[in-house]
């Protein structure tokens, strides 16, 4: 139960992250930074796990607001700012995403794929929530663009320590650029419809036939 990478993948993953982010100047670690109050978006369908994660963050000393969405479809709607999530005062742009892989409607892999295809979200750190250290799900999550993973706990104290390690790095020791720029989708143009006015009805007179000349009887 740790925020770590498998041994055979650690070097290649670190190189990939360094190339994609550090070398590009997107974000870098700084141990002198203090934890910030950035928004955490939690995509998790289990209310019990949501409560557990909230308590773990509080116990670890992080009081960042946590916004919760129950499935992958809602996660994408939140990031797009659609529907109820259009109110960015109530649903601010998140600084990190905690993503469960096993969710209804759209799963975590669908959300990962959608995010990494959007330039405005290319710098959003995505921490995958899982129940195991290794396996094909973890490998696939990294291939889809996950940054790290957080294992669900067997012991709560161990989970708190893991959350503290993760939060210290992503919320304290890492300089993150602001997501965006966000380009609003084009709005459908409203076509003004003119109410049909009263049109004058023209009555066409039937063509008159010439009168036939009457034949006068010869006297």
- Tens digit of pLDDT for each residue in 105-150? 899 999 999 999 998 898 899 999 887 666 788 888 999 999 998 8
Spell out the residues 6+ positions from residue 135 whose beta carbon is closer than 8 angstroms to its own.
none
- And the tokens for 76? 């994408």
**Domains of the chain (ranges plus CATH)?**
7-29+37-174 (3.40.50.2300)
- The CA-based dihedral angle spanning residues 102, 104, 105, 107, taken in that order and rounded to the nearest 10 degrees: -10
| Burial 162-189, CB ≥16 within 10 A → b, else e | bbbbbbbbbbbbbebeebeeeeeeeeee
Rounded Cα distance, 169 and 162, in Å = 11
Is the pTM of the predicted complex or chain greater than 0.75? Answer: no
Residue 218: pLDDT over 70: no
pLDDT averaged over every residue in the chain = 75
């Amino acid at each position: 139960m740790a925020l770590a990478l498998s041994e055979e993948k650690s070097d290649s993953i670190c190189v990939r992250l360094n190339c994609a982010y550090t070398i590009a100047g997107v974000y870098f670690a700084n141990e002198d930074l203090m934890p910030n109050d950035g928004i955490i978006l939690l995509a998790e369908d289990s209310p019990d796990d949501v409560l557990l994660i909230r308590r773990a963050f509080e116990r670890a000393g992080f009081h960042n607001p946590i916004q919760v969405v129950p499935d992958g479809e809602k996660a994408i709607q939140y990031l797009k700012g659609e529907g109820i999530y259009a109110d960015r005062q109530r649903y601010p742009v998140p600084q990190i995403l905690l993503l469960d892989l096993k969710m209804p409607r759209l799963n975590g892999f669908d959300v990962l794929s959608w995010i990494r295809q959007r330039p405005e979200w290319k710098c959003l750190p995505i921490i995958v929530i899982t129940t195991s250290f290794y396996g094909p799900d973890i490998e696939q999550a990294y291939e889809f663009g996950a940054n790290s993973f957080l294992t669900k706990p067997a012991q709560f104290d161990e989970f708190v320590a893991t959350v503290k390690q993760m939060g210290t790095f992503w919320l304290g020791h890492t300089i993150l650029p602001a997501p965006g720029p966000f380009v609003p989708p084009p709005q459908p143009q409203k076509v003004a419809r003119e109410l049909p006015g009263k049109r004058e009805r023209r009555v066409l007179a039937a063509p008159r036939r010439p009168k036939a000349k009457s034949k006068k009887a010869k006297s």
